[in-house]
Amino acid sequence: MGIENLPRTIEMTESADGRRTARIVDQRALPRDLSYSDVKTHREMIDAVKTLALRGAPAIGIGGAAALALYAENESGADDAAALLSELETVAQSVSTARPTAVNLSWGVARALEVARVAAAGTAAASAVADALVSDVRAMIEEDEAANRAIGAFGAELLGAGTRILTHCNAGSLATAFYGTALGVVYAAHRQGKIDMVYADETRPVGQGARLTAWELGRAGVPCTLICDNMAASVMAAGKVDAVVVGADRICANGDTANKIGTYGLAVLARHHGIPFYVAAPTSTIDASLAAGSQIPIEERAATEVSACIPQGVEVFNPAFDVTPANLITAIITERGVFDPESV
């Protein structure tokens, strides 16, 4: 049992009819089934991102770039590179707005558009632009795994023997191409024999902790105890948590960090109990264009996520993310090292 049992979240492959596709783990089916979907068009990719079949900031960044590659490969009828580029500029708009909070999505789309621009400047053939896009998605996948392994190595240095970690949502291999950010820290520390237990918050309302983190850690052979979100305070008070490690969807210039709803509450609890609170994320999650967390767009999702059965007339507020102020974050762990949130 180990991380070799974890699936690759997204890969560029070829389907039986010879068309290039993005093969993704369909995370809606977990933990019941480990099943894959072959995504062939940019619209199918937008749907996968919106419905959380593909989720987690780094994974949707790669998915965004893949959407442009799929459009170029399978949908465009453009005669030449210049015509394709102009179509891609329109497609990029709809892909990068599929979900608003994780900056990685628009980062991935912007990177793909730049690759297409450079390719189109050097060729007249639309097919060469498509090839360049597919190659760059493959490069992004490799870079993402390498970044996560570096995050894991830096993060493991912060932890001592017998560490008990609390994590929220799924910032694991499933949220990235492979290995994970917060769970990357766990995997690296576990390899060094430092992890006694990982407490996984259930993560209401969608249950990424219960459905995905508990499944992933089990498959990787890391000890995991599932708790409901409202149990975190008493687990900390009982002295069972040595560090909180979470992922991020967007980190502002001042270090304020958006992550799955409930993260902010955990940071407040960690401060109260004197427990270090770490954010683990690749530098592609940093958005230096935003000065502070109040400027981060927070996605609101359907009321049916909160309850399938709502009494008539009851209003539901379902923000998918919250913002943890920089002063509650002990350190931000990136692939380039460990930073004070204010200096990130």
Ligand X SMILES: CSC[C@@H](O)[C@@H](O)C(=O)COP(=O)(O)O
Residue (57 or 195) nearer to ligand X, CB: 57
Out of 248, 266, 270, 329, point to the residue binding ligand X (CB under 6 A). 248
Query: What's the DSSP call for residue 320?
Result: S
For residue 260, say whether it is annotated as part of any ligand binding site: yes
Q: Are strands 277-280 and 331-334 parallel, antiparallel or unpaired?
A: parallel
Residue (66 or 84) nearer to ligand X, CB: 66
For residue 50, say whether it is annotated as part of any ligand binding site: no
CB 37 within 8 A of CB 23: yes
Cα angle: 70, vertex 72, 77; to 5 degrees: 125
Minimum gap (Å) between residue 312 Cβ and ligand X: 28
| 259 part of the interface to ligand X, by CB under 6 A | yes
CB 249 within 8 A of CB 298: no
Residues that contact ligand X, how many (by CB under 6 A): 18
For residue 99, say whether it is annotated as part of any ligand binding site: yes
- Pick the catalytic residue from 136, 144, 201, 249: 249
Pick from 322, 199, 228: nearest CA to 268: 322
Residue (73 or 287) nearer to ligand X, CB: 287
Report the alpha-carbon distance of residue 344 to residue 332 in Å, rounded. 7
Residue (73 or 144) nearer to ligand X, CB: 144
Residue (20 or 55) nearer to ligand X, CB: 55
CB 341 within 8 A of CB 326: yes
| 279 part of the interface to ligand X, by CB under 6 A | no
Structure tokens at 91: 């497609």
CB 292 within 8 A of CB 326: no
Q: Mark 64-93 with x for binding to ligand X (rule: CB under 6 A) and - for no binding.
A: ------------------------------
| 58 part of the interface to ligand X, by CB under 6 A | yes
For residue 32, say whether it is annotated as part of any ligand binding site: no
| 229 part of the interface to ligand X, by CB under 6 A | no
Out of 88, 120, 159, 169, point to the residue binding ligand X (CB under 6 A). 169
Strand residues in 27-180 grouped as ranges (E): 36-39, 163-167
Report the alpha-carbon distance of residue 338 to residue 127 in Å, rounded. 42
Pick from 213, 209, 336: nearest CA to 280: 336
Burial class of 338 by CB neighbour count within 10 A (0 to 12, 13 to 18, 19+): middle
249 is catalytic: yes
Q: Which stretch binds ligand X (CB under 6 A): 48-56, 134-142, 155-163, 332-340?
A: 48-56
| 44 part of the interface to ligand X, by CB under 6 A | no
Interface residues with ligand X (CB under 6 A) are: 52, 55-58, 102, 169, 171, 175-176, 181, 208, 247-249, 259-260, 320
Catalogue the active-site residues.
249
